[in-house]
Structure 1
Amino acid sequence: MDPGKNGLPLKTLLVQDRQVRRWLGPFILTCSIYFLLWIPEDQPSWVSALVKSLPVFCLVVFLWAVSSGGGYTWLLQGGLLCSAVGDTCLVWPETFLYGMAAFAAANFLYLCAFGFFPLRLGWLLLTIPGFALYYSILLLHLEPDLGLPVGIYGVILSAMLWRGLAQGGSAGWGALLIAVSNGILAWDTFVQTLPYARLVTMTTYYTAQVLITLSAFRSLELKTH
């Protein structure tokens, strides 16, 4: 944040910076707990669901605490809440489709937050072939009843990636890391087991969520207490 451009004194900027770091503390702590506990995936429980989804809930609280509100923030908070629901559903294999639907809703809300200006069609011309190639490979390994929902999810994810890259900054990096996380998860689930897939998936996922969350401060002022 540039004091000259925003007209804010240095003291105010330092207070806001401390405020952001303080409210990010719970997210960092809960992420650490998740990786330290590392509850096996073959032991699904409400405890493991809570441990997995709590970092994302902390980001919802973070936005409520430090941002001044507005449509962009509300859309991000909605996306984070849907992501937390998706995290919970994916703990149990039988609720996989519900989890995918929740993440589709999250990506759609991020897409709405990023908007369609600037358009930057060049990024779209890169994401379309990438999605088409990846989906054509997945389709060879999917059950027949999963082809359509996975395809719809991929289209929403690709659109969100396009708009995130068009926005640039932390929104672009966050959108890219969400796509990477989803790609690794899909390959490990449907095509071939990958070494350290869960570690890479969750690391990129949590990093992506915090980067998208921080993108709120490109257009919003922080709360002053």
Structure 2
Amino acid sequence: MGIAEEEAELSREMVQFLTNDVISQLRTTQSQLEDAERRWSRMETQEEATGKSMKAKVKIDGHLVTEADIEVNLRRGYLVNSKLHQACVLDQLLEFHRALQLQYRRMENIVRLLEKQVSSIQDAGDGRLLQHTSSLVAQVVTELGSMCRDLRTGGNAVRLPSTRRFPYCSQLDHVSLDLHQVVPCYDVALCAGLAKRYAHRYVCAPSATGTRCDGHVEFMHLVM
């Protein structure tokens, strides 16, 4: 197989990766994220805790705290009672939902731009197909890696304090939510890993002379 045939084969392989593997994985992951968010929003819990000097009752409906009744018995029999007058939303949950919504838009933009740019590259002819395709793969690596980091950051936003960190509220226990147990960001990470292998081999190799594709600026700005 000559150099031209090998480059053509590599180009076809990368185009297949961009048009099928990446797009399919992003759509699957987005669907799973949305499904996990819907299940979580329907979750209802009610917790009660009683101690020597404090009683608490908290009811949660999805991302809303709908009821909270806390009674603290201070020294000399002085009783303090506090109730939640209207439903409220925890800042951590708002941050988590904001992170998910942002990633939904980024996934949709990546899919849309990939469909447009891969088609444009193929129409340009075989002369610069390898260079343009390898450059596009490099941009996909960057975007998928950034998406994985942002999803993990969203998971950190809902890791609530534990009794070990806050011993003064030992009568109440908080739940630590791990993003890896809720959303399959490993799928995106796997897709990013495959893209990184392509970019390292065909873009970062010493013999490679890849150039930025024509849609580099458009891709980077519209995805964000």
Task: Say yes or no: TM over 0.5.
Answer: no
More helix by share: 1
More strand by share: 2
TM-score normalised over the length of structure 2: 0.30
Q: Larger radius of gyration, structure 1 or 2?
A: 2
TM-score normalised over the length of structure 1: 0.30
